[in-house]
A and B are shown apart, each in its own frame.
Chain A
Amino acid sequence: TQLLEQSPQFLSIQEGENLTVYCNSSSVFSSLQWYRQEPGEGPVLLVTVVTGGEVKKLKRLTFQFGDARKDSSLHITAAQPGDTGLYLCAGTAPDSWGKLQFGAGTQVVVTP
């Protein structure tokens, strides 16, 4: 099992502030996905990154995959209350046919 460590575990910020969530491992992943989960619901995919060094932007969210494909970050610019949720990173290990290994998640709370 390849472990994915997310930090911080919990983040509480004011509306308009920026935040960054990290996802780190000592192992290489073929791809890495970020999901957001709201209370009482299942996770929903935000983005998939596949290439080392890749940067993807989704409106105010910026995702980066490390050059060595062992880590990733999610940056939110000018956070809004609607960004509140549990952010999960999930990696696909090489030769795992695509099974996902999830991190423990970062709970983000954005207050007005």
Chain B
Amino acid sequence: NAGVTQTPKFRILKIGQSMTLQCTQDMNHNYMYWYRQDPGMGLKLIYYSVGAGITDKGEVPNGYNVSRSTTEDFPLRLELAAPSQTSVYFCASSRGTGPSREQYFGPGTRLTVT
């Protein structure tokens, strides 16, 4: 199993451009998440999904959109990129409910907006 894969690994965007960060998991997990990680700030939840067709906002959703048409894929869309969106983005998935379920993370996408 590949686990959680993310593409691209690195990307530089100009202000106002748009892009989609791809995330795929092959563990048949229902739950998927997008986080951003800024230096010294830990991980902040952007959006999450509890299954295909169901998504909801996390802590920092502004400037982002998501969709979940299949169990495997959870792309994150950036519209009108801004310098404040420069960050490392992580996608994660988990199996199900319960307080102790483990989240499996992808390797991240490092995005710079200039």
Contact = CB atoms under 8 A, between A and B. Distances in A.
A, B bound = yes
Interface of A: 1, 4, 9, 30-31, 33, 40-45, 48, 50, 88, 90, 92, 97-100, 102-105
Interface stretch (B11-19, B38-46, B65-73): B38-46
A48 B41 CA distance: 22
B42 A88 contact: yes
A45 B102 contact: yes
Nearest to B35: A102
Main secondary structure of the interface of A (DSSP, over half): loop
Contact of B48 (A1, A9, A99, A105): A99
A42 B102 contact: no
A44 B44 CA distance: 16
B81 interface: no
B99 A98 contact: yes
16 contacts: A31-B100, A41-B105, A42-B4, A42-B105, A43-B90, A43-B105, A45-B103, A48-B100, A48-B102, A88-B42, A92-B99, A97-B97, A99-B58, A100-B103, A104-B42, A105-B42
Interface residues of B, number: 27
Given A1-B59, A99-B58, A44 B105 contact: yes
Contacts of A102: 35, 42-44
B92 interface: yes
B9 to A, nearest CB: 9
Contacts of B97: 97-98
A42 B90 contact: yes
B99 A100 contact: no
Contacts of A97: 50, 97
Contacts of B94: 98
A100 B108 contact: no
Contacts of B100: 31, 33, 48, 50
A41 B99 contact: no
Given A33-B102, A43-B43, A105-B40, 7 more contacts: A42-B4, A42-B90, A42-B106, A43-B105, A48-B100, A98-B97, A105-B42
